[in-house]
Amino acid sequence: MIAEVYDPDTAVAAGFLDRVVGAAELASIAHDVAGQLRTLDMDAHAATKLRARNKALAAIRTAIELDYGDAARQRLRAEAS
């Protein structure tokens, strides 16, 4: 199985969701959370996200460079033959 379906409580326990709320509370809680997010220092938030993703981004950049190098070598071989 490639994917697993989680019920709301299990999704919270697994860390996929922060919390589960009832439909009647959704708009009010979403508004409150949006207000909390507005108070974040967005420059600090962006810098933290970049630091957290830095290794993955470096690996992706390296893989792209390697893929381009492989493609160029294959093209040169095809042109030479």
- Rounded to the nearest 5 percent, the helix, strand and coil shares of the chain are 75, 0, 25
- 34 and 45 together in one domain: no
Model confidence band, residue 2 (pLDDT cutoffs 50, 70, 90): confident
- 57 and 67 together in one domain: yes
| Signed CA dihedral, 70, 76, 79, 80: sign only | negative
**DSSP annotation of 15:** T
Instruction: Determine if residue 15 is left, alpha or beta; phi over 0 gives left, psi from -120 to 50 gives alpha, anything else beta.
Output: left
Mean pLDDT of 32-40: 95
**pLDDT over 90 (residue 69):** no
Q: What is the pLDDT of residue 1?
A: 60
Q: Which domain, by its residues, includes 26?
A: 1-39
Domain count, the chain: 2
- 29 and 46 together in one domain: no
